[in-house]
């Protein structure tokens, strides 16, 4: 997890969240931390990596 590179597509974000989901029981407020990433995977929304996504990615 520590060496995971920054996601460059919705598919990569979904992969990261899927693997990271295992740790959700150990991370207080996981869903709140993951919210920017989860929102960026919605259908009918263009992929956009912003500072909120980066902060969420680094925190998780």
- pLDDT on residue 38: 93
47 or 1: which carries more pLDDT confidence?
47
Question: pTM to 2 decimals?
Answer: 0.82
Q: Are 21 and 27 in contact (CB under 8 A)?
A: no
47 or 33: which carries more pLDDT confidence?
33
Q: Are 17 and 38 in contact (CB under 8 A)?
A: yes
pLDDT of residue 46 exceeding 90: no
- pLDDT on residue 36: 94
At residue 1 the predicted structure's pLDDT band, cuts being 50, 70 and 90, is low
Burial of 60 (0-12, 13-18, 19+ CB in 10 A): middle
């Amino acid at each position: 997890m520590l060496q995971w590179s920054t996601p460059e597509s919705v598919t990569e974000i979904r992969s990261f969240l899927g693997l990271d989901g295992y740790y959700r029981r150990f991370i207080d407020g996981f869903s709140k931390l993951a919210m920017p990433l989860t929102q960026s995977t919605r259908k009918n929304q263009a992929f956009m990596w912003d500072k909120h996504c980066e902060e969420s990615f680094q925190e998780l």
